[in-house]
Amino acid sequence: MKHKDMSTKTSGKPSFGIVGALAAALLGLFMTAAPALAAPATAQTSSHNLTADVSARPLIQGVGCNSSTTHWVHVYMNAGTWCYGFTGTWYFGANNTRAVCAGNNYGTLEYYSPAVNSYFTLRFGPGNRFDFIPDVNLIYVTITGWSGSDTCP
């Protein structure tokens, strides 16, 4: 038995008759118009000097502690005392850390305690000091900001 082609052809394109028209109409009922594109944001002027603002937030720095780094995070190791300032994360190699003083900084630190074979993460803020007995291995210090006038010895 041969099937008859129910579609008619106009302009060389198939037409699907009433069923096709009904499907297109129903599809149109469920479609929503695409939202208009938002207007571009308008730039606002500011009295802030962007160059000065950027230079006020360099990446974390680590140095031997001195009289100009009393507000920085101090890490007291058996090999000496090191200071870390500004924002960012400093990773440490193998070490024996005795204490950490936050100065006027906020952030987190992670350390490994061989005594209990575990890693720990601590949050710190201005004025915090952590003494480790026995010594630990400091993994990293992340400084997220600073405020106030707290210092470390």
pTM above 0.85, yes or no: no
Look at the domain 59-146 and name its fold: Gamma-B Crystallin; domain 1 (2.60.20)
pLDDT of residue 83: 98
Please report, for the chain, the start and end positions of each structural domain, with discontinuous segments joined by +: 59-146
Rounded Cα distance between 65 and 79, Å, is 13
pLDDT of residue 37: 28
pLDDT of residue 58: 55
User: pLDDT tens track of the chain, all 153 residues?
Assistant: 444 444 443 444 444 454 444 344 443 433 333 333 222 333 333 333 333 333 344 599 999 999 999 999 999 999 999 999 999 999 999 999 999 999 999 999 999 999 999 999 999 999 999 999 999 999 999 999 999 999 999
- DSSP conformation letters of the chain: -PPP---EEETTEEE-HHHHHHHHHHHHHH--PPPPPPPPPPP---SS-HHHHHHTSPBPEEEE--TT-TTSEEEEETTEEEEEESBEEEE--S--EEEEE-TTEEEEEEEEETTTTEEEEEEE-TT-EEEEEEEEEEEEEEEEEE-S-----
